[in-house]
Homo-oligomer: A and B are copies of this chain.
Amino acid sequence: MDPDAVAKAFVEHYYSTFDANRAGLATLYQDGSMLTFEGQKIMGSQNIVAKLTGLPFQQCQHQISTVDCQPSGPAGGMLVFVSGNLQLAGEQHALKFSQMFQLMPTAQGSLFVLNDIFRLNYA
């Protein structure tokens, strides 16, 4: 399958899950997964989802501006780089963000997030 199409499908799935049911992201991470969220380092699916579900807003909507991807090494990994806007409920202005993922194949042939780095882009 076309890597760009895989990356785009992953990104759409990730952010639609984030916006509808953040706890549902647990299936996309594993015990060895790493998240760096605004500089805070968190490891493991359970801790990562606790961080994401504990963010101090209830409703949000991600709007994707760009998705870039590259293959990553011989193990079938993929690097995905996203830029976009994050609209929080009740806020007038959207926040710009950038995020990168390294996706790796699972034993079942799907993909999981091994690495995840998120930053807001302040104006």
Contact = CB atoms under 8 A, between A and B. Distances in A.
A79 B100 CA distance: 9
Given A72-B114, A96-B96, 19 more contacts: A34-B70, A34-B71, A36-B68, A36-B69, A72-B72, A72-B102, A73-B73, A73-B75, A79-B79, A79-B100, A79-B115, A79-B117, A81-B98, A96-B123, A98-B98, A98-B119, A98-B121, A100-B100, A100-B117
A83 interface: yes
B102 A79 contact: yes
Top-6 shortest CB links A-B: A98-B98, A81-B117, A36-B68, A100-B100, A121-B121, A68-B117
Q: In this complex, which of A36, A65, A70, A96 has the most chain B Cβ atoms within 10 angstroms of its Cβ?
A: A70
Interface of A: 34, 36, 39, 41, 65-66, 68-73, 75, 77, 79, 81, 83, 96, 98, 100, 102, 114-115, 117, 119, 121-123
Contacts of A115: 70, 72, 79
A117 B70 contact: yes
